[in-house]
Amino acid sequence: MLHGCAGLTTKTGKLRKRPEFWSAWLAARGYLVLMADSFGPRGYGSICSIKQRPVRPDRERPFDAYGALRYLQGRDDVRAEHISLMGWSNGAMALLWTIKSPAPWRPSKLRHDFRAAIGFYPGCSKISKTPHYTTKIPTALLLGGLDDWTPAKPCLRFAATAASRSNPVRATVYAGAYHNFDHPTARVKTVLTRNSESKPTERRVHSGGNTAARRAAIDAVAAFLTRHAPVDQDQ
């Protein structure tokens, strides 16, 4: 799991509500979950309001993702060929760069790559301009129809272009949903940011949960994992 720009934990060191929910939800269905913290070990907390971000989804974070993959593949209790990747916002952007093929951060002589990938509301403006983007990994993008922080339209264009090249990227848009729509408790609020893809001169965007979209997304994740990365019932 790759966290968003707010980081994995709060200022007091507690796990944030969204990764707390998803890790418990996945574990209850038989999945082992590793939450890769890209900020804390580097001495950063939330970077949402920072314009020049010190940790980037197209620079450091793909290395973190593959470091996590290699760590998991070294464990005796993990099926090395059945590891999937999930990311949210900044982490979903990192996810898209991670699974890009070819890519400099993919370890040489890697026996098994990620099996599947699920990205919640990434910012797709930059990656959609990457010439001839390809990936071999089945990927689901879950987007908010009203997202004004990382809008759905660039991701829809990106997914459509990828699909035209026979890349396994599919996008779903949830009407009426803002950024962070799958959060279990957060109400919609305005957020100050210096990294809004839809409003380069406007720094206030919306973020918060949407009950209907959240439920639909949970069902979509369950169906996607059942299809592409099912739990081995014999283990």
SS3 152: helix
Chain-centroid distance of CA 70 in Å reads 19
Asked if 177 and 146 touch (Cβ cutoff 8 Å), the reply is yes
The position carrying tokens 């959240």 is: 214
CA distance linking residue 105 with residue 51, whole number of Å: 24
Q: What is the CATH number of domain 17-228?
A: 3.40.50.1820
Chain-centroid distance of CA 84 in Å reads 11
Which pair of tokens denotes residue 196? 């809004």
Beta strand spans in 33-153 (E): 85-88, 117-120, 139-144
Residue ranges per structural domain of the chain? 17-228
Q: What is the pLDDT along the chain (235 residues), one digit of tens a residue?
A: 999 999 999 999 999 999 999 999 999 999 999 999 999 999 999 998 887 889 999 999 999 999 999 999 999 999 999 999 999 999 999 999 999 999 899 998 898 999 999 999 999 999 999 888 999 999 999 999 999 999 999 999 999 999 888 899 999 999 999 999 999 999 999 988 776 666 666 678 999 999 999 999 999 999 999 999 999 765 4
